[in-house]
Amino acid sequence: MTYAKWGLVLMISLLLVGCWDQQEITDLASIAGLGFDVGSYPHTVRMSFMTSPPRAGLGGEGGDGSRLRVMTVEAGSFTEALILLQGHIRRQPFFLHLGFILFGEELAKSGLNGQIAALQGRSTIRGSVPIFVAQGTAEEILTARSGIGHAPGQDIADLLDNLAEAPLGRPTTIHNVRNVLGGLGSEITAPILELTPLRLQAGDEKPEVGLGLANEQLREVFVRRLAVFRRDRWVADFDQYLVQTFVLLTGTTKMGSLNITNPADPKSIMGIAIANFQARFEIKIEGDKVEVEILPRVKAIVREVSGSYILRDRGLEPIAQNIEQEVNRQVIAVMSFLQEQKADALGIGDMIRRQQPDVWARLEPRWGQLFPQITVSVNTEAEITSTGMLVRFFEIKRGE
């Protein structure tokens, strides 16, 4: 009996032999970044794949960035592009290590629906991959060479690592876009990547040989703006002065910085760090008239003072008042910008839906027209929690 049992097990295991899914790790080409642009023919999309071919031989220092390659394929669909790419690189493109997805400006303005659907349909692409949009084309950004010893695309990888530090809030993902496309949630924003020529000063290191042609313009990638999407279309963008306030208002980050005028010396400024920013929205609806009162609470730290401010004479109250004025001004600016663009990126509509579903059902069809007419009032409450370690700098005496 036992031999029969073992025989059965053996037979079964022989039957199972197949290793269908087995795939050597060296047969894969890990795609680190993906860019989409409008193609040169109608109904085509230009897709750029950033991959790092492993180096042969010893050592485990692959992926050091110096070997990142960008390949561009123009095809009607994502699937077709993959087949073309596979024929070119002779390895299986592998997306589970995808770091980011980048959309070109033109494509983003004409709608991302098709691309998002293609990405979502693949089980090997995680829904949590962050999305960026490019000022210009995605390909341009991916292939940009910058810095010292940096490879194409490496800038974005570095940027991603430090995204938490940049005042951009939580990155937008494929899933966010999908949720918005489903008619739920508010408009979304995505960071805009821009290129700027790298200015090398005298005494800087020369770029390594072999990184590009001698006369190639080195550029670096930076982010200071956010694209506002309505559904899947890029409809407006924030300038860098509004970005921080916007992100603070969405609540995805709580820290930032602020410049205010010195109450004692209007020609000089004070640098304030925002340690905690919390905004409460109070919405009053009467008929079609919607009033929004935004109540930010700011905890601030005085970091630097140019000019003189004598603390023991004036106290902290004037500083707090200036902070409140400045925050009010910025919030109003954000709101009027959003109303101008008819983009409810802060999700006022969503708040109404959650608080008063029946009222929202009435307002929803006309929300596009109602939103620009909302009355907005801001009332900030600022509290200075710390003036830092140095107290004496408040009494700088000019030698007059």
Partner 1 sequence: MQKTTRKMRKPVPVRELTKADIEKGQFSGNLKQDCDALRAVLSASADLKERTIKMSDGAPCAVLYFANLTNLALISESIIEPLQRHGGAQGILHIAEQVVHVPEYKAEGDIYQVACALSAGTVAVLLAGEAEALLLPLLELEQRPIERAIQEDILIGPHESFSESLGKNLAILRRRVGSPDLKIKQLMVGRRSRTTVAIIYLAEVAQPILVAEMEKRIQRIDIDFTYGINYLTDFLDDEPHSVFPTLRSTEIPVRVVAALMEGRIAVMAEGDGSALIAPTFAPEFLQASEDYFDRPLSATFFRFIRMVGLMISVFLPGTWLALVSFHHGILPTPLFNSIQSGREGVPLPTVVEIFVLILAFDLIVEASTRMPTRIGQALGIVGGIILGQAAVQAGLVSPALVIIAALTGLAIFTQPSITFISVLRLLKYPVLIAGSLLGIYGVVWALIFMLITVTAIRSFGYPYMFPVAPFNLEGELDIFIGVPKLWHAKRQKFLSPQNERRLDYE
Partner 2 sequence: MSKVRVGLAQSTLALFVVTIGTVFFPVAGVVVPLAGASGWVAVLLAFFIALPWVYMATYVAGSATAPNWGQAVKAWLGPFVGRIFLMYFAFVWMWLGGLLLGQAGLVFHEMAMPRTPPIVLCFALLILVMRVGWHGLEVFVRTIEALAMFSILGLVGLLVGMLPLVRIDQLRPLIDAPPALIAHAAMFCLPWAMEGVLFALFIGVYARKRLGMGGYFAAAVGAAGFSLAFLTMMTVGVLGRGVTESYLYPTAILIQVALPGFFLEGVEMFMYPLWVVASYFKVGAAFIMVSESLAGVWQGFKQPYRTLLLGGVFMFIATRPRNIFELVASIGRVDNTFFMSFYFILPALALWVRVSRREE
Residue 287 interaction partner, one of partner 2, partner 1, none, beta carbon < 5-8 Å per kind: none
Structure tokens at 364: 């929803």
Q: What residues contact 232, with CB distance under 8 A and at least 6 apart?
A: 111, 112, 113, 116, 177, 180, 181
CA 176 → CA 25, 30, 166, 172, 284, distances in Å? Answer: 31, 24, 20, 6, 28
Contact 219, 194 (CB under 8 A): no
Range in contact with partner 1 (rule: CB under 8 A) among 50-58, 248-256, 340-348, 357-365: 50-58
Is residue 96 part of the contact set for partner 2 (CB under 8 A)? yes
Nearer to partner 2 by C-beta: 4 or 58?
Answer: 4
Is residue 245 part of the contact set for partner 1 (CB under 8 A)? no
Structure tokens at 328: 């009010």
Residue 25 interaction partner, one of partner 1, partner 2, none, beta carbon < 5-8 Å per kind: partner 1
- Measure the CA angle with vertex 387, ends 383 and 393; round to 5°: 140
> How many C-alpha atoms does 141 have within 13 Å on its Cβ side?
30
Kindly tell me which residue out of 39, 44, 63, 250 binds partner 1, with binding defined by CB under 8 A: 63
Is residue 176 part of the contact set for partner 2 (CB under 8 A)? yes
Is residue 201 part of the contact set for partner 1 (CB under 8 A)? no
Is residue 22 part of the contact set for partner 1 (CB under 8 A)? yes
Q: Could you give the string, one character per residue 278-317, with x where binding to partner 2 holds by CB under 8 A and - elsewhere?
A: ----------------------------------------
Nearer to partner 1 by C-beta: 124 or 201?
Answer: 124
Range in contact with partner 2 (rule: CB under 8 A) among 217-225, 292-300, 328-336, 353-361: 353-361
Is residue 158 part of the contact set for partner 2 (CB under 8 A)? no
Provide, rounded to whole angstroms, the least separation between the CB of residue 182 and partner 2.
3
Q: Could you give the string, one character per residue 104-133, with x where binding to partner 1 holds by CB under 8 A and - elsewhere?
A: --------------------x---------
Range in contact with partner 1 (rule: CB under 8 A) among 11-19, 182-190, 219-227, 245-253: 11-19
Q: Which of 366, 377, 367, 355 is nearest to 187 (CA)?
A: 367
Q: Which of 128, 106, 96, 123 is nearest to 46 (CA)?
A: 106
Nearer to partner 1 by C-beta: 123 or 201?
Answer: 123
Is residue 184 part of the contact set for partner 2 (CB under 8 A)? yes
Q: Where are the beta strands (DSSP E) in the chain?
A: 28-38, 45-51, 69-75, 92-94, 100-103, 131-134, 188-197, 219-230, 233-238, 256-262, 265-286, 289-305, 375-378, 381-386
Backbone angles phi, psi at 356, to 5 degrees: -135, 80
Q: How many helices (H) and strands (E) does the chain have?
A: 13, 14
DSSP 228-289: EEETTEEEEEE-HHHHHHHHHHHTS---EEEEEEETTEEEEEEEEEEEEEEEEEEEEEETTE
Is residue 4 part of the contact set for partner 1 (CB under 8 A)? no
Is residue 180 part of the contact set for partner 2 (CB under 8 A)? yes
Q: Where are the beta strands (DSSP E) in 41-158?
A: 45-51, 69-75, 92-94, 100-103, 131-134
Question: What is the SS3 assignment for 16?
Answer: helix
- CA–centroid distance for 235 within its chain: 16
Structure tokens at 189: 């924003």
Q: Could you give the string, one character per residue 114-133, with x where binding to partner 2 holds by CB under 8 A and - elsewhere?
A: ------x--x--xxx-----
Provide, rounded to whole angstroms, the least separation between the CB of residue 98 and partner 1.
9
Provide, rounded to whole angstroms, the least separation between the CB of residue 164 and partner 1.
18
- By CB under 8 A, the residues from 329 to 368 that bind partner 1 are none
Is residue 25 part of the contact set for partner 1 (CB under 8 A)? yes
Task: Point out which residues bind partner 2 (CB under 8 A).
Answer: 12, 15-16, 18, 20-21, 96-97, 120, 123, 126-128, 173, 175-176, 178-185, 347, 350, 353-355, 357
Task: Point out which residues bind partner 1 (CB under 8 A).
Answer: 2, 13, 16-19, 21-26, 28, 30, 32, 52, 54-63, 94, 96-97, 99, 124
